[in-house]
Amino acid sequence: MAEQHITPELRQWIIDQAKAGRPPEEVLKSMMASGWDEDVALAALEETLSGFLKEHAQANGLPAPVP
């Protein structure tokens, strides 16, 4: 299998899905249906959503999310 890369476009798509209210489990299923390896998809979701929440908290004067 070819190596899968987590691109800025993928990160934005994940954020857009989260903002639209889609649960992470649904996003994971969509990614796997599109050919993403489950481990890579999980890593992309975790990294992207954690980073987004941290940035959102900082930008809005909120406490940092708990890991």
In Å, how far are 1, 24, 43, 55, 58 from 47, measured between CA atoms? Answer: 22, 12, 6, 12, 17
44: amino acid identity, one letter:
A
How far is it, in rounded angstroms, from Cα 32 to Cα 27?
Answer: 9
| 1 assigned to some structural domain | no
Which two three-digit tokens encode residue 54?
A: 């941290």
Which two three-digit tokens encode residue 10?
A: 């993928």
Residue 44: domain span: 8-59
Q: What is the pLDDT of residues 10-57, one digit of tens each?
A: 999 999 999 999 999 999 999 999 999 999 999 999 999 999 989 988
Domain count, the chain: 1
pLDDT at position 27, please? 97
- Classify 29 in phi/psi space as left (phi over 0), alpha (psi -120 to 50) or beta: alpha
| 16 assigned to some structural domain | yes
pTM: 0.85
